[in-house]
Chain A
Amino acid sequence: MSQTAYKFAGTVSDPSSGWAYEDNIKAEDDACAEGNCPKQTGYPLVLTNFGFSADDIPAGATIDGIEFVIGRYSNLANEAFDSALYLQYSGADVGSNMASATKWPANGVVEDVTYGGATNMCGTSLTRANILDSSFGIEIIPLKTASDSTVIGFVDFIKIRVHYTVSTGKKDSFFPFFSALFSFFSFSNLFFHG
């Protein structure tokens, strides 16, 4: 199994205008996107255009898993949490809600949390072609618990890498030949042995 390098979003969209400095999420540099975390109907942040290319995932590769890391914290402890966290394709959420149960820390230090994994497709059946498409991405919506205080979620970055397996081709061309040869001799023995 192989894996790509981590990739960052090229495009960030804030359809409900709940975020500030959203482009800061495109790099792992401690500069954060800042989003309001209401109690209900949160503000989505949609990241796409991760730039996976044919050089990253060779033709014929089978996707085994999708892994992403989010660096985040909040202004208040035990308040902000992932409400919805979905992979995106073609403008829609796909697969499972990958939200963590862990509330965001509030120590002002970015905490990196890993989701998915080498053999975890995040509830999707995305193909190489889907991942190479610029619409492949991720959507995050944080909420706060019951507090009436203003809760701001800070997200430094979201980066994605893809785990895949490439079929070599050699196996396909040589194995059938030897297999056929073995079958021929086995079959011959049935008739000519003794």
Chain B
Amino acid sequence: MITLKTPLKEFIELCKIKGACSDAIPWMESQLKIDPRASVEKAVSIYLADKNLSETWAVWLLKNFKDLDVNIQNMYIKKITTPMFALQLLLDCDFLSDEQDAVLKAKYEGKLPTAEKEIANRTIMTAKQANLEINK
């Protein structure tokens, strides 16, 4: 489980193993140079505050690290502003809580008429819905 207290150095290594993109690793390593004992919390806080850093990094982390502590997940979810990114996370991530799903839904609701209709009439199912169908 990766928590806010996990050393950033350890987190960077895990990101490399999972094939993180070439933009994110150098940025995290630059944070490590500033503070070699930095934790995940510090890096995430700087990332959230910097509006120039892309939200797609948050999307990638949420999709690829199912074992992120819920506090980190919530911080990354806060970074998501593009409605279609929020919707794609809701579609793909079956491990997020109902509360987190609701936060994501609020980010796209009323903004993507075609996609919302597809979900409403089950032309496309979220990962959670698909799991329920399989377990029936």
Q: Which residues does A use to contact B, with CB under 8 Å? A: 39-41, 81-85, 96-102, 115, 120, 122-123, 143, 145-146, 148
Contact = CB atoms under 8 A, between A and B. Distances in A.
A82 B84 contact: yes
Q: How large is the interface on B (under 10, 10 to 19, 20 to 34, 35 or more residues)?
A: 20 to 34
A39 B56 CA distance: 7
A100 B114 contact: yes
A83 B108 CA distance: 12
A39 B111 CA distance: 20
Nearest to A113: B114
A146 B111 contact: no
A145 B113 contact: no
Contacts of B59: 39, 145-146
Contacts of B102: none
A27 B119 CA distance: 30
Contact of A100 (B63, B111, B115): B115
B118 interface: yes
B22 to A, nearest CB: 8
Contacts of B84: 81-84, 97, 99, 143
Contact of B113 (A81, A82, A98): A98
Interface of B: 19, 21, 54-56, 59-60, 63-64, 82-84, 87-88, 91-92, 111-115, 118-119, 123-124
B124 A101 contact: yes
A98 B115 CA distance: 7
B114 A148 contact: no
6 contacts: A83-B84, A85-B114, A96-B113, A100-B115, A101-B87, A101-B91
Contacts of A146: 59-60, 63-64
A3 B88 CA distance: 34
Centre residue among A84, A97, A102 by max chain B CB count within 10 A: A97
B115 A99 contact: yes
Centre residue among B63, B111, B112 by max chain A CB count within 10 A: B112
B113 A123 contact: yes
B63 A98 contact: no
Contact of B92 (A99, A123, A145, A148): A145
A100 B119 CA distance: 10
Given A39-B56, A82-B84, A146-B63, A102 B118 contact: yes
Contacts of A115: 114
B56 A97 contact: no
B101 to A, nearest CB: 14
Given A101-B119, A102-B124, A146-B59, A81 B114 contact: no
Given A100-B115, A123-B113, A145-B59, 18 more contacts: A39-B54, A39-B60, A40-B54, A40-B56, A82-B84, A83-B84, A84-B84, A96-B111, A97-B83, A97-B111, A101-B112, A101-B114, A115-B114, A145-B63, A146-B59, A146-B60, A146-B63, A148-B21
